[in-house]
Structure formats: structure tokens, C-alpha cells
Amino acid sequence: MKKIPKRIGILTGGGDCPGLNAVIRAVVKTAVNDYGMAIVGFLDGFEGLVENKFVDLTSDSVSGILTRGGTILGASNKADPFNYRMLEGGKYIYRDRSDQALKTFEEHGLEALISIGGDGTMVVTNKLAQKNIPVVGIPKTIDNDLYGTDVTFGFDSALTTATEAIDKIHTTAQSHHRVMVIEVMGRYAGWLALCSGISGGGDIILIPELAYDINCICEKIKQRKYHSRYFSILVVGEGAKPKGGDVVVMKTVDGSPEPIRLGGVGHKVASEIEEKIEVETRVTILGHLLRGGIPTPADRLLATRYGFAAVQQVADRNFGQMVALRGNEIVTVPIVEVAGKTRTIPPDSPLIALARSVGTCLGDSL
């Protein structure tokens, strides 16, 4: 018979999102109630594992956090144990500190690590698995771009926030006869832009998967005017790019598993529109607003299902796996198959087809 682990660690890596606390709560409660496990929570993602920053998590310490945004453990999308930023001699240098991470894990007498995060986190988690740390992953990100799962938790909450924002911008767009450009996060995948654009009734939606032609966009705006619709709503994913052009990079973050931060394409598109046609534009960048707030009921449920399933994998010693959603079933996927891949919107996605059918311009044709 398999020996059920008695002490496990947990951390939240990458950018935060609504639902992280719901997962932490589900993991701790399931681990304690069903298996009598002790849980060590590492602080600030992998930084906690390298620097031995931790808290002991109990049923009491996770009580009341289900609905709370953010993560009680803190998060970091910079701390990579394999390329760890350190100040030496007044200068920042990068060192492989993964042996220190392993040492911390062993010193706590842990038998498993539950790692909650997006693709950057899964890349690091996979490398830790190769150093013989028994890991189980849980897929998180507002971008919904993690390979191997249909949905990541956090996405539904960000979608809700984006849609509410688009609804509000709609009314002022109408009053002032303006083109309102709304930029949403999502990195190189257009899930957030496409889904919020469809839900919010965007007239033009630009996603990274379909390079845009500014002339198509302007033509759509002119056609709407011709049909007495004097305003237009344009939703753009931060990773969108023009035909033959490139993404707009806002900054690079040294030491991050994915150093490039996108942002600014909304302003680029808006000024291109104003250069070409007689119309007033305004830009709203939703940015980190999309990562804040309380999780939606769908995210609370998904986060709780993932947390519960992850502890079951630990109890079964089914390591090196990420829990995932396929259809409505929770399944497991080897992390090695997930790490380093991005799940973008496929060209034949029914969402793309339906957006076109309801008259949305996707920037590549009218």
C-alpha cells in the first residue's frame, strides 16, 4: 500500500489572480480533514522556497479566505530558483539556487509540493520535479493560456471585470460618439479579449492570433457611422499586432521566467485610427484591475475542485502531474507536457466564427 504523505508544501507563483485563496483553502481543508496532513505555505512564490520564508497553514488560518482576492501567501513572477536574482558587491547577478530550494524542502521534512501558477510557474515546477521534488501543479492565470487544461481559474473573474468595464464604457461611447479602445491583458493569447469583447458586444476585437489591418478597422468604423452608429467599441488584447508588425513591449523584467511585459497597443491603435479617419478616440487600459477583486462563483468552484483534486494526487503519490479541466471533468496532465507551451486561440475556434457571424470585425477583414 502507498504511504500517504504527512507533510506537504504549497506556494502561489506568477502573477496573482482571484481564486488563489480559494485554492489554498481547499488544499488545506482537504489535506487536514481527509488525510491529517500538515501544510507549510511558502511565501512570495519560489522566493519562499529559496529563502525559507514560510507559514504553517491550518484549518483556522485559511478560514474566511474563500472569497478574498489576491493570495495570503504572496506571489512573485520574478523569483526563479534556477535563475535567481541576488545582490553581490553592490551589483545584481543571477545564480542557480535550486539546490537551496531543494534543501529548504528537505529541511521541512516535506513529501510533496503543490505549486499553483501559470506557464512560468509550471516551467519551474517541472525543473524542480527533475530534481526529485514530488510536485503537483494547479493551473492559474487570468490569461487562460495554459496548455493542457480547458480553463484556468482566475479567467472567469477577469472576464467578468472586463465585461463590466466594457458595459460602462459603452454608455459614454454612445453619448460622445467616440471610438473607445479598451486594452485587456492576456499576453500572447486572446482569450480575455475575445471572450470579454463578445460578452460586452465589442464592434471590433483584436487578438494576438489574428494580425490586424488598420484599414479594415477604419472601414468598420466608417460603415457603422454610415448606418447611424456613431460610436464604436474596440477591445484589444495586449499581445495584438499589425500585419507585418510586432507586439508593443512595455518593459522587460530581469529575472522573470518570462521577462517581456506587453502593453500600449491600445494607444497605438487609437492614434492610427485618428490619423486615418475623422473620429475622436479614447483609450482605457484595464491592466491589473483584471487581476483584482473577489473571485466569481465559477472561479470559487473551479478553484475548490482543483485544490481538492491536487491533494488527492498527493495522497495517491501521483506526482509530476498538473490537475486540469477537460470538458467538465477534472483530469491530470503530466507537467512535462505542459511546461513551456502556450495555449492560444486556434484559428478554427467556434468563438472566432461566432464573433464574425454576429458582425464583429476581428481586424483582419470586414
Side by side, which strands form the sheet with 281-285? 204-206, 232-237, 179-184, 281-285
- One residue of 53, 85, 170, 261 binding ligand F6P per CB under 6 A: 261
Pick 187 or 300: Cβ nearer ligand F6P: 187
> What's the min distance (Å) between Cβ of 187 and ligand F6P?
5
- One residue of 18, 118, 137, 257 binding ligand F6P per CB under 6 A: 118
Active site residue 143: yes
- One residue of 117, 134, 186, 307 binding ligand F6P per CB under 6 A: 186
Residue nearest to ligand F6P (CB): 185
Q: Which of residues 33-92 bind ligand F6P (CB under 6 A)?
A: 77
Choices 4-12, 181-189, 209-217, 352-360 (CB under 6 A): range interacting with ligand F6P: 181-189
Grid cell of 102 as nine digits: 531543494
Strand partners for 115: 11, 137
Distance CA 8, CA 144 (A): 27
Choices 52-60, 91-99, 121-129, 184-192 (CB under 6 A): range interacting with ligand F6P: 184-192
> What's the min distance (Å) between Cβ of 79 and ligand F6P?
12
185 binds ligand F6P (CB under 6 A): yes
CA of 215: how far to CAs of 128, 181, 279, 358, in Å? 48, 16, 14, 20
> What's the min distance (Å) between Cβ of 256 and ligand F6P?
7
305 binds ligand F6P (CB under 6 A): no
> What's the min distance (Å) between Cβ of 143 and ligand F6P?
5
Choices 4-12, 63-71, 183-191, 205-213 (CB under 6 A): range interacting with ligand F6P: 183-191
Grid cell of 56 as nine digits: 504553517
What binding mask, one character per residue, do residues 264-293 give for ligand F6P by CB under 6 A, x or -?
A: ---------------------------x--
Residues 6 or more apart whose CB falls under 8 angstroms from that of 177 comprise: 230, 231, 280
Distance CA 272, CA 236 (A): 14
Choices 129-137, 139-147, 208-216, 349-357 (CB under 6 A): range interacting with ligand F6P: 139-147
> What's the min distance (Å) between Cβ of 112 and ligand F6P?
25
Of 53, 47, 114, residue with least CA distance to 85: 47
Grid cell of 264 as nine digits: 500600449
Marked catalytic residue, from 143, 145, 203, 299 = 143
Contact criterion met (CB below 8 Å) for 351 and 196? no
Looking up cell 530550494 gives 101
Residues 6 or more apart whose CB falls under 8 angstroms from that of 343 comprise: 144, 145, 146, 147, 148, 149, 189
Put residue 34 in one of left, alpha, beta given phi > 0 → left and psi -120 to 50 → alpha: alpha
Distance CA 20, CA 299 (A): 9
- One residue of 71, 141, 332, 360 binding ligand F6P per CB under 6 A: 141
Q: Which of residues 3-22 bind ligand F6P (CB under 6 A)?
A: 15
Contact criterion met (CB below 8 Å) for 280 and 179? yes
Residues classed as catalytic: 143
- Interacting residue ranges for ligand F6P, rule: CB under 6 A: 15, 77, 118, 141-143, 185-187, 238, 253, 261-262, 291
